[in-house]
Chains A and B, each alone.
Chain A
Amino acid sequence: MSSQTPAHRRSILLVRPSRQDFQLVGLYIGKVCVGLGLLQLLPLVIALVLGEWNSASALAVGAATSMIVGLVAEIRLHTNRQLLWSHGLVTVAAAWLVGPMLVAIPFWLSGHWGSYLDAFFDAMSGLTTSGLALVQDLDHLPTSMNFLRHVTHFVGGQGIIIVVLTMFAATSGVGTLYVGEGRDDRIVPNIIRTARFIYLVAGAWMVAGTTLLWVTGSIAGLDPGRAFFHAINLFMAAFDTGGFSPNSPSVAYYHSAGMEAVIVVLMIAGTLSFGMHYELWRGRRRVLIEHIETRALAVTGLLTIILALVGLGRAGAMDGVVPFLRKGVFTVVSAHTGTGFGVVNANLYSSEWGLIAPAAVVIAMALGGMASSTAGGIKAIRVGLAAKSTLRDIRSTLAPDAALVVASYRTRTRQVLNDGDVRAALTIIVLFLGTYLAGAVVGVFYGFPFDESLFESTSATANVGLSTGILAPDNPGPLKLTYIVQMWLGRLEFMSAFALIGFVIALARGRE
């Protein structure tokens, strides 16, 4: 209406969330809390078996706090109302903030994190499968607490919402939660069965991957018990493209080409979408070759590997083929899949690797893996769509005026490229690039060189975990917070986060 003020017009589309909206969102966040509480029982059992009493009580406090929050929500907020689209997005974004807050409790109580913020940082890093770490004296960390770090990768990689769907077989409308968590590839029509298939795939890979790492670890010189501990932890960090490792030198700790080869396979398996795993499960290997994401991933992977090897050669950082493969190729695969395992000390990227090789690693991190996988970053589908669209536009320019140029691409079925898909892809690409840059500017503000800040910022946003050594427990709080927000945004691929921000704004300025 003409009598409305500008402020009034701006708020006209915002509807203030009702008590029922809070009830619904709170109820589902509560379910996530119960799930995370149960998750902490696993390392708690290990602590009790190994006699790590302080870790056991820390894990009991963490698990009990999570379950109290969840149970109170279940008792006080129970409702049979159906989740709407907006509820799903807000729930997911909030759950990905509350979850790390709860998992941070046992971390902080263990005495290996300098502050609650540091513990929250590592919990967010673990659940978002980033792998950046602020833990101190990792090499003396109790076994149970080390195990919890890696379990966060496994749960976060599959999706904490997926955990809830699998465990509690939730009610209708939960598809919005699934999509809100950054997944758009419903593998089978039923969402609960999709969630269970994801855990079936992860379970099958766990058996195979852990066994292979156990064998190669034993050959590398680990005693059988320790080899199993390292194998299960490394599996969770590799397949879920996380990047935490049981000891401070990451994968370089093992000095084993066999383990590195198994880890490369697991990282690549982790970066494939669960839809792709489904097709392979059903024996449709052609999809792997024809899928736009596989092709985009192969092209960008090859280009970044070549660029890194050229850079390493130019900087004189490596001698011989084996070091190029075991250090150069491994690092690029680790970056491109969003894993973040290191085979060289973080400081060597700046002191030894020259300029070109780290740039290749940054590009690989920024691009990321497949959509609906455990990897982060821009994702191969968006890179593929942007490339297809560019080629289509070039062909349109060269074609006669009357010609209609149509481009198509193949996912699990053949699809015609439409402008809506391209626009959506480009929007997310721009948001990712902007976030990479913004984080780098914050790093520069705190006195770090731009190139190293960009490396760190990209690593956080793309949920990778490689570091040039900037990240340290003595970093200023705002810089740590920046990386936390970046990990959160990157995991949710922005849209759920925007929905939560919109929810908060509507709370303040919306209309009844």
Chain B
Amino acid sequence: MSARKPFHRSTIIQWLVAILLTTVLVLAIRGVRLSAPTSDQDFTIPEAADVAELETTVERCERTLPDEPVLPDADGVPNFGRVSSTAVVECPDIFDGEPVVYVGEVVGDILRRDGGAWVLVNDDGYALEAGPAGSSGRLLGQNSGLSVWLPDPMVDELSHAGGAGFRGDVIQVSGTIRRVDPADGGGLTLRAASMQIVAEAETAHTPLNGGQLVLALGLVTIVAALVLVERRVAAER
């Protein structure tokens, strides 16, 4: 006959302990996520941040066959003024070959070659309003931008592209939209004719999440203890 287990080692108690510890862990992780400190650094560019208003001027293209006009009432407007990336992507046909003005943050890498550089210029909320999400703690959706070709003299004016912990140079580009740019193997691009820096690149301060650090150290200590226990148990088997 097997001996009866002591109460504190019964299956129900062990399950309850496991559920309790899991709940504590989940709440701790949730707590450090929700209490993460954010920077109050101001990245807003007042004269450039109202992108949403620009989008109202463009309707989304419907799928069409070549014989059908994309937008019958486009009236061949020669100059759209300032455009947003979402408007251009929604309906590249009406912007094709047209001069436009575009404002956004240079992000990622400056791909310098062939007398100029390809840069990704985002005009989303992170670029013109909130700054990098990791710093501000504000989530405003996914990134949105255009590929821009800058000739060499303009590239020289750039100081830093945006990335982790950085809001890159914010630039205003005047240029021409290419729906199928032969220089990019058929990509949708903006070829700059002129460029000016609207805001210099700057570091986005990210406050240290102390609670998360303490939790990490606590959990690593538990792992170390469990490794020792596991070795001892394995040796006893």
Contacts and interface: CB of A to CB of B under 8 A. Distances in A.
A binds B: yes
Interface of A: 52-54, 56-58, 60-61, 64-65, 67-68, 71-72, 74-75, 78, 105, 108-112, 114, 135-143, 219-223, 226, 230, 247-249, 252-257, 260, 314-320, 322-327, 343-345, 347-348, 350-355, 472-474
B69 to A, nearest CB: 12
Most buried by A among B133, B184, B234: B133
B222 interface: yes
Interface string B122-150: 10101000001110010111111101000
Given A220-B111, A221-B110, A354 B186 contact: no
Contact-residue bracket for chain B = 35 or more
B231 to A, nearest CB: 10
B216 to A, nearest CB: 4
A472 B233 contact: no
Contact of A221 (B111, B188, B217, B233): B111
A64 B222 contact: yes
Interface stretch (B44-52, B59-67, B72-80, B191-199): B59-67
Given A315-B64, A315-B65, A322 B143 contact: no
B82 to A, nearest CB: 20
Contacts of B132: 137, 140
Nearest to B210: A57
A326 B188 CA distance: 13
Contacts of A320: 180, 182, 186
Contact of B230 (A57, A71, A255): A71
Nearest to B237: A78
User: What DSSP secondary structure best describes chain B's contact surface?
Assistant: mixed
12 contacts: A60-B220, A64-B216, A109-B32, A136-B133, A139-B163, A140-B134, A141-B134, A142-B164, A248-B143, A249-B145, A260-B185, A348-B89
Given A67-B223, A140-B132, A111 B145 contact: no
B77 to A, nearest CB: 19
A78 B233 CA distance: 10
Nearest to B118: A255
A375 to B, nearest CB: 25
User: What DSSP secondary structure best describes chain A's contact surface?
Assistant: helix
B33 A108 contact: yes
Given A64-B223, A68-B219, A57 B213 contact: yes
Nearest to B91: A351
Contact of B140 (A57, A75, A136, A221): A136
Given A111-B134, A255-B118, A61 B215 contact: yes
A326 to B, nearest CB: 4
A107 to B, nearest CB: 11
7 pairs of A and B residues whose beta carbons are closest in the complex? A323-B186, A221-B111, A64-B219, A326-B185, A140-B132, A60-B216, A137-B133
Contacts of B230: 71, 74-75
B14 to A, nearest CB: 8
A140 B215 CA distance: 25
B152 interface: no
Contacts of B233: 75, 78
A386 to B, nearest CB: 31
